[in-house]
Amino acid sequence: MLSKNTVKFIKTLHQKKYRNQEQKFFVEGGKSVLEVLNSDFEVELLLVTDSFYESNQKLLKSFDFELLIVTQKQLESVGQFQSNDSALAVVKMKANQYFERSEEELVIALDDVRDPGNLGTIIRIADWYGIKHLLFSRQTAEFYNPKVIQASMGSFTRVNFYYGDLKEVIEKWRCPVYGAFLNGINIHKLENFKPGILLMGNESNGISVELASSVTSKLTIPGSGNAESLNVAIATAIFCDNFRRLSVP
Amino acid sequence: MLSKNTVKFIKTLHQKKYRNQEQKFFVEGGKSVLEVLNSDFEVELLLVTDSFYESNQKLLKSFDFELLIVTQKQLESVGQFQSNDSALAVVKMKANQYFERSEEELVIALDDVRDPGNLGTIIRIADWYGIKHLLFSRQTAEFYNPKVIQASMGSFTRVNFYYGDLKEVIEKWRCPVYGAFLNGINIHKLENFKPGILLMGNESNGISVELASSVTSKLTIPGSGNAESLNVAIATAIFCDNFRRLSVP
């Protein structure tokens, strides 16, 4: 049975303050919940509907977290999805951990990307391209925001990240740094691509002045229309696709 | 002064039913409002804050629609933006109009893209690449949905669209049709690109069975990670970027 206290507890996790305090977050929807169950994240509590339980009995029986059978209505009342007929998991956060970059690795760095939907979409893009590590400035949206988790479509389980001082990390790594600028080199003319950091800037202001000087390759996505800019997740994807084209002949 | 009736009227335009009945929609935020004022859309009513009025007096005086000076709080109460310190316009819809495709033109066709954010982002992408015409299946999100208008960042003023039977139009045009499939040709290996239709499918189901047989080039975006798919707007952008690379040497 779903107690009032459990309902109240999950609802507090809608707020960043309580997520940080508890070091827990929640994951909604059947697909994402299955991905988190199959990942190295530690699930603490799982709410499932009858039908989700039936379809996944074998998997669910291999775990020993608290499992509650609830109704679709209850799932929808504790979570943020308009419609959820499957599951919601309460999961332990991972510690914010610095990582080293290996030589042939492309890392995505985000300089104050504020929109959770954009962050989640970028995580999904990273996962598509096999990018394992992301660097976030401290003002970047929170990885465990429910909208980030939702937009990442389960990909949040397959990337590692570090929130910290981008300038410091970039200086330490001494690798190529690619950044989007309106007056850079046409990305279609780029040759001799070497993996390094793909630095993407804030939705309104782009890459900060402080970091712009660290960019070793200023790149531009060629267009011929009248839009002033592209959405940051869109631009990230176009860069990754071009880097992939240049890396895998 | 902002009357209760005007407030009520604008609020009805949050709903599709009333937008269709009135054949009007609304545009929020300074940037988008300036874009709509500089477009061939007909503005019927404009709410502006003092400061937006001061900064744009000359432009605003060249129009003869109803103009009301309001507070930021009033703007936020009638619109959908959490924060809006500039303007909101009530604008007349354009008629749904079939268009002919010229021979060297790339047209984006959407087969039941349901999410308004995705539709708005795709409109912004089209505008970046100078794509003037979009085709929408009847189940595609509504062009005048406030979330579409917001995500398009003003680009909605620079594209034309037609909601209709995609199958019929595709058969009439007899041009190359490019579509995303998981087992298609690697888009990086594509040669001899000829403009035609870029057909993008529904968020969950992809291109419908009915339309799949009309696709003349099945294309795949190469990746090496574990994400099952890319967001439809992301995939649209990657296709457009590759087509641009193949068209502009």
Q: Which residues of chain A have pLDDT under 50?
A: none
Contact B227 A188 (CB under 8 A): no
Burial class (CB in 10 A: 0-12, 13-18, 19+), A39: middle
Residue B123 contacts residue B134 (beta carbons within 8 Å):
yes
Q: Do B121 and A234 touch (CB under 8 A)?
A: yes
Q: Which amino acid is at B91?
A: V
- The residue out of B92, B120, B139 marking a domain boundary is B92
- A76 and A177 belong to one structural domain: no
| Chain A: closest CA distance from residue B220 (Å) | 12
- B225 closest CB neighbour out of A129, A223, A238: A129
Res. B249: pLDDT tops 80: no
A58 and A123 both lie in a single domain: no
Q: How far is B121 from chain A (nearest CA, A)?
A: 8
Residue B39: pLDDT over 90: yes
User: Residue B97 domain-assigned?
Assistant: no
Is B16 a domain residue?
yes
Residues B25 and B84 in one domain: yes
- Cα separation, A42 vs A20, in Å, equals 16
In a domain, B102, yes or no: no
Tell whether B99 is covered by a domain.
no
Task: List Cβ neighbours of A188 (8 Å cut-off, separation of 6 or more).
Answer: A222, A242, B244, B245, B248
Shared domain for A152 and A211, answered yes or no, is yes
Is residue B77 domain-shared with residue B185, that is, in the same domain? no
Q: Are residues B237 and B142 in the same domain?
A: yes
A127 closest CB neighbour out of B227, B245, B248? B227
Tell me which residues of chain B have a C-beta less than 8 Å from any C-beta of chain A.
117, 121, 124-131, 151, 153-155, 158, 188, 221-231, 233-234, 237-238, 241-242, 244-245, 248
Is A234 within the bounds of a domain? yes
Residue B78: pLDDT over 90: yes
Do B213 and B137 fall within a single domain?
A: yes
Q: In what order do the strands lie in the sheet with B87-92?
A: B24-28, B87-92, B43-48, B66-69
Give the position of tokens 């937008």: B19
Please tell me the distance from the alpha carbon of residue A30 to that of residue A60, in angstroms, as a whole number.
13
Question: Does B17 share its domain with B130?
Answer: no
B41 token code pair:
């859309």
In a 13 Å sphere around the CA of B154, the CA atoms on its Cβ side amount to 18
C-alpha span between B121 and B151 (Å, rounded): 5
Cβ within 8 Å, pair B117-A117? yes
pTM over 0.80: yes
Residue B100 belongs to a domain? no
* Chain A residues contacting B via beta carbons under 8 Å: 117, 121, 124-131, 151, 153-155, 158, 188, 221-231, 233-234, 237-238, 241-242, 244-245, 248
Judged against a pLDDT cut of 90, whether residue B1 lies above it is answered with: no
Contact call for B129 and A224, based on CB within 8 A? yes
A115 shares a domain with A87? no
Domain boundary among B92, B119, B137: B92
Cβ separation of B241 and A221 shorter than 8 Å?
yes
* Same-domain pairing of B133 and B239: yes
- On the question of pLDDT at B76 being above 80, the answer is yes
- Provide the number of structural domains found in chain B: 2
Domain boundary among A92, A120, A136: A92
Pseudo-torsion of CA A194, A200, A201, A202, nearest 10°? 180
pLDDT at position A123 = 98
Q: Rounded mean pLDDT of chain B? A: 96
Give the domain extent around B52: 4-92
- Identity of the residue in A117, A227, A244 whose CB atom sits nearest the CB atom of B128: A227
Q: Is residue A76 domain-resident? A: yes
Q: What ipTM was predicted for this assembly?
A: 0.94
Q: Is residue A173 part of a domain?
A: yes
Query: pLDDT-derived band of residue B16, with 50, 70 and 90 as boundaries?
Result: very high
Contact pairs from chain A to chain B, CB under 8 Å:
115
Q: In this structure, what CATH number is given to the domain that contains residue B199?
A: 3.40.1280.10
Shared domain for B163 and B75, answered yes or no, is: no
**What does the pLDDT read at residue A182?**
83
- Residue A1: predicted pLDDT: 81
Identify whether residues B70 and B166 lie together within a single domain. Answer: no
Identify the CATH number of the domain in which residue A28 sits: 3.30.1330.30
Nearest to A230 among B128, B154, B222 (CB): B128
The DSSP output letter for B188 is: G
Task: Give the model confidence (pLDDT) of B137-176 as tens digits.
Answer: 999 999 999 999 999 999 999 999 999 999 999 999 999 9
Query: Is A225 within 8 Å of B121 when comparing Cβ atoms?
Result: no
Q: pLDDT grade, residue B182 (50/70/90)?
A: confident
